[in-house]
Amino acid sequence: MSRVLVTGGAGFIGSHVAEALLTGGSEVLVLDNLATGSRQKVPDGCDLVVADITDARRTADTVMRFVPEVIVHLAAQTNVENSVAQPGEDANVNILGTLAVLEAMARSGGRKVIFASSSTVYGEPERQPVVETDPIRPISPYGASKAAGEHYVRIVATGRRLQYTILRLGNVFGPRDSLGSRHAVTAFVDALLSGRTPTIEWDGEQTKDYVYVGDVADAVVAAVDRGHNQTFNIASEVGISVNDLYERICAVIGARRLPRHRDRRPGDVRTFVMSCSKARRLLGWSPRTPLLEALTMTVDSMARAHENNHDTVRSAAN
């Protein structure tokens, strides 16, 4: 395979991507500031450089030393609510940080950048399912910064004669997610395992497209050698309401608590399902993990983590 640098590789999605690349035979270096990631998530066989992508000099030094053939750029500010509260910081990380990565890659003589974008770039879609040629009209600062990142990737990569692939990710879930992400699956499972009352924003009837993190990692691996200079939706192609998702998680865990509701989150849309026909055709990728199987693996992983945490607390108390 290739020498690949994964920014954000100590985080939720990044650690799965690094793992999949290693399995495929790539040499992998992780660059992460550990703000939301952790050393424990970095797969065995990967070296870790602790640095922030907004530090352009440190980013450039890391890239020049490793000389990757491909950079998978996952490091980002991903919380929509945080982007509303601090749009400047969101732009600093997601736009200027992306530019630092692109410039470093161009100077190093690498081949390709794979950029993790988001379904939020579409905003309120005109039709379902959403396809890649639909209008880009973000309704949150996070969506705007990801849309800007896409444009910079296209322009800078083309001007520097780099290949690129842009992956617009749906609602990604699975093991190793952090609670700070505010992702629905992670929040629901954690609350139920901890005996707390889960919270559902809005009325819960909003429909979303949830995709398993292992499938996302497979899409990134496919993009290393395919889909050059193209943009792809990466999702499950199946819409499910938040209320239905919650009921399914309760069934997997075997416990149920009546959830509380709160106001709609900024940037949330009523219905959103993505088409992945282009990825199927040009990347040879399609979502393969059924929702029940993916939820079961996520619950099992989080349950083990909860038990390990409780064991640690009990040991410390003895």
Listed by start position, the domains of the chain span 3-173+211-235+274-288
From 122, 142, 212, 246, the catalytic residue: 142
pLDDT at 311 over 80: no
pLDDT in tens, 153-168: 999 999 999 999 999 9
Residues 142 and 129: their CA atoms lie apart, in Å, by 22
Average the pLDDT over 143-151 and give the result: 98
Query: What contacts 24+ positions apart, CB below 8 Å, involve 36-40?
Result: 36/11, 36/12, 36/178, 36/180, 36/181, 37/8, 37/9, 37/10, 37/11, 37/12, 38/10, 39/10
The answer to pTM > 0.85 is yes
From residue 309, how far is each of 36, 42, 250, 278, 314 by CA, in Å?
A: 18, 19, 22, 42, 9
Backbone angles phi, psi at 159, to 5 degrees: -70, -30
310: confidence class by pLDDT, cuts 50, 70, 90? low
What pLDDT is recorded for position 315?
40
Read off the tokens for 220: 């990134």
CA 79 to chain centroid, in Å, comes to 11
CATH fold of 3-173+211-235+274-288 reads: Rossmann fold (3.40.50)
Annotate 159-174 with b (16+ C-beta within 10 A) or e (fewer).
eeebbbbbbbbbbbbb
Annotation marks residue 142 as catalytic: yes
Average the pLDDT over 227-246 and give the result: 98
Number of H helices, E strands in the chain: 11, 12
pLDDT in tens, 55-65: 999 999 999 99
Residues 45 and 27: their CA atoms lie apart, in Å, by 8
pLDDT in tens, 94-120: 999 999 999 999 999 999 999 999 999
Residues 147 and 141: their CA atoms lie apart, in Å, by 10
